[in-house]
Amino acid sequence: MPLEPSGAFAPGRVNLIGEHTDYNDGLALPFAISAGVTVRAKAARPRGGDRVAVHARDLGESDEFALASPVRAGGWRDYVRGTVAELARAGFPLVGAQLEIAGDVPRGAGLSSSAALEVALALALIALATERRGESPVELDRTALAQLCARVESDWVGAQTGLLDQLASLYGAAETAVWIDFQTLRIREVPLELGGWRLAVVDSGERHAHASSGYNQRRAECWRACELLGVSSLREAEPQLLERLPEPLRARAQHVSGENERVTAAVAALRAHDEEALAALLNASHESLRDLYEASTPAVERAVQSLLEEGAAGARMIGGGFGGSVLGLFAPGIRLPARAREVRAGPGARVL
Ligand code: GLA
């Protein structure tokens, strides 16, 4: 008799480099972190019930809705309702469930708490339904699942994000960075062995919410740049073609093009164990995000500056920007600032 699955865990992520490239068919190099979201799942009571009851432990809030017809309710509830709706739409047979959500990724800090939530919910709901129906666990297509979770983000929460966060959470592995080509959705594992160098994040203290930040505006600018250039994505635009664009579209497109090159250079630096070169690439990425993409804020700038002053060899904002966390790379022997939190690449999402 198979044991009832008790839920699922999905990690948050840190993007080592490759920012605002995912929705431009570009390249990125994120890794899964050890912090994440755990969803505990039990069959609904009474058995066979067709409702989903969910408790968000960290918020002390609950929700309940009919499995067949979730509608928007606002806030965190839309992640749950949206995941149920998108799973059903994709043909996953679901069963009534009691869910409990708990996590240790800070919300709104640019470490992908929302992707971790969507992925953990999806895995827990699929595993529970599979077990209840007496079926053996299915081999899931992780890329398709990432796309499903991204639809929750865009169609239910209103943030037109790319696939970076969900793919990092689903494909992450210990001591490994995940190289992603968003044009082909090809994924490669790159060993994240830093020879005693350490990565650490600091929260800028500024909350960011993609839906209300400049994120959607930047996306729209990239689309407009493509329209003007007659290409279907910025990946296809030759760097010299970008000169034709009016500002600020030219600057946005130049960031994307340069950032793709920096991802390729970062993979080479990791393979060569050249952490100095990696640190320089992090600094260049930040400068480009600040000056060309204009996705920084005074609080983010202060956080980056203080990491550099406290000994980081390289530092940059991570995630969507307009707030959130910054990442620093520290040479062996350099003490991490007290408020910095060391991050290492950990395993990806899994059923518990
Ligand atoms: C957020 C989005 C991602 C990606 C990054 C920027 O984290 O969720 O899809 O666009 O911003 O690189």
Nearest CA to ligand 1 atom 11: 320
| 233-263 tens-digit pLDDT | 999 999 899 999 999 999 999 999 999 999 9
- Per 3-state DSSP, what percentage of the chain is helix, strand, and coil (rounded to 5)? 40, 20, 40
15 C-alpha vs ligand 1 centroid, how far in Å? Answer: 9
For residue 274, what are the contacts with CB-CB under 8 A and spacing of at least 6? none
Q: Ligand 1 pocket check: which of 14, 23, 29, 164 to mutate, most ligand atoms within 8 Å of Cβ?
A: 164
Contact 11, 113 (CB under 8 A): no
Cα gap 28→17, rounded to integer Å: 6
159 C-alpha vs ligand 1 centroid, how far in Å? Answer: 10
Q: Is 231 exposed, middle or buried (0-12, 13-18, 19+ CB in 10 A)?
A: middle
Cα gap 17→30, rounded to integer Å: 7
CA-159 nearest atom, ligand 1: 8
Nearest CA to ligand 1 atom 8: 161
Q: Ligand 1 pocket check: which of 161, 180, 221, 292 to mutate, most ligand atoms within 8 Å of Cβ?
A: 161
302 C-alpha vs ligand 1 centroid, how far in Å? Answer: 21
CA-163 nearest atom, ligand 1: 9
How much of the chain exceeds pLDDT 90, in percent?
A: 86
Q: Ligand 1 pocket check: which of 22, 166, 178 to mutate, most ligand atoms within 8 Å of Cβ?
A: 22
Res. 1 pLDDT band, cuts 50 70 90? very low
Classify the C-alpha dihedral 256-264-322-286 as positive or negative: negative
| 180-207 tens-digit pLDDT | 999 999 999 999 999 999 999 999 988 7
CA-164 nearest atom, ligand 1: 9
23 C-alpha vs ligand 1 centroid, how far in Å? Answer: 8
321 C-alpha vs ligand 1 centroid, how far in Å? Answer: 8
In DSSP terms, 105 is beta-bridged to none
Res. 14 pLDDT band, cuts 50 70 90? very high
Mean pLDDT across the chain = 94
128 C-alpha vs ligand 1 centroid, how far in Å? Answer: 30
| 270-324 tens-digit pLDDT | 999 999 999 999 999 999 999 999 999 999 999 999 999 999 999 999 999 899 9
Q: How many helices (DSSP H) and strands (DSSP E) are in the chain?
A: 8, 13
Mean pLDDT calculated for residue range 16-37: 98
pTM of the predicted structure, to 2 decimals = 0.96
CA-320 nearest atom, ligand 1: 11
To which H or E segment does residue 269 belong? Answer: helix 249-271
**Who lines ligand 1 at CB under 6 A?**
19-20, 22-23, 161-162, 164-165, 319-320
Q: What angle do CA 219, 279, 268 make, to 5 degrees?
A: 80
The catalytic residues are 165
Res. 208 pLDDT band, cuts 50 70 90? low
Q: What's the pLDDT at 264? A: 98
Contact 115, 13 (CB under 8 A): yes
Closest CA to 234 of 23, 47, 50, 35: 23
In angstroms and rounded to an integer, the radius of gyration of the C-alpha atoms of the chain is: 20
Indicate if the pLDDT at residue 3 is higher than 60: no
**3-state secondary structure (DSSP) of residue 314:** strand
Cis peptide, bond prior to residue 248, ω within 30 of zero: yes
Nearest CA to ligand 1 atom 2: 161
112 C-alpha vs ligand 1 centroid, how far in Å? Answer: 9
Q: Ligand 1 pocket check: which of 114, 149, 165 to mutate, most ligand atoms within 8 Å of Cβ?
A: 165
